[in-house]
Structure 1
């Protein structure tokens, strides 16, 4: 028999894909959500329901979760991994980039959490894992809007943990430093992208997504009465 259902948003690449592969290898059934269905299906994981969903669409997220629960049983864990990192200076960054990050990094986390939380509270069991960033704990040049969304993730996670702890539900924040993912490629300012790449190289490179996936699995696989509230990890050479 497979282990309980885990939902992973942004599962088509990077941390999400690495986590999907790892938890599948550990025997879990999965609901994988992303906008690129072909990338989800290329993972070829057993007991994995792949759905093309924009996680800013709360109705679509809720419908996919209901479908997965009908097939695999209740959601035991939600990994809010989908996100956008659009770096820029507030003085000239396109305002629609702020909207995109707020919708995806903040509101989508709330929508997905709301879709699974009532069942977790009723069962008095479950885990919500929010993928934040070191940028949710400190500031960086050209990160103002992005930092704001990740500080929000940290704050929401801690407040939610306080709300649901009496019901046996765990809330975990994973805060990586630079990771080798596609996130930076969506930044529209080429100079900022170049500067970031140089900074990352000077630190000796970024984390492999597999390392972050292993941190997620470590937190999730603790006994139910143990909550790893936060894991902060970064490449050793990343000073900030």
Structure 2
């Protein structure tokens, strides 16, 4: 009987969520626009807000209010933030979808023995809810938002603690993300970093110093193989 070569045992792959695994822009901006309309303000176009998704709900709210010429102080209200979270939880997977190739790639990496973990600045319960609805949660040993670690990305502590919570070794881990917090956290944690070019970033992804840039998620597995090959070659040269 054919067996998968479990050549990735001992390695952990950490993934960002929004903009890396899932195109969550339609539902996040949908919530933003419903709140803006409730506040008597005009909705924002998808293109103007999607780059800010990695910065969190508060940044989206500020953008929406600024675009309408309204008070930023009003956008920073805790009550408005809570309304955002409640509305978003109710619509979290209305239109959000995994990027092409995500489910298949995660399955193959697991079959090869890798431990998979989500390290996201999205709150853990919302991350779990989204991934459950998209049938992706089953692939991950842990789903780790900022509420489950001592510091959020761009701190490397987020990645190290997420990998440890998944039962992995931070010294044998790779980060896959789409934006500056991912690249900076990986650098801080001394982890190789793969960035995808189709995610949510307000600055050009090419400037973020990734070890590998990918235009398609289907190429993640090959990129990991290349990084691990370099790791073993460099280790061999030390002896």
TM tier, shorter chain? 0.3 to 0.5
Q: Which has the larger radius of gyration?
A: 2
Higher relative contact order (CA 8 A, sep 6+): 2
Relative to its length, the structure with more strand (as a share) is 1
Query: TM-score, structure 1 length as denominator?
Result: 0.44
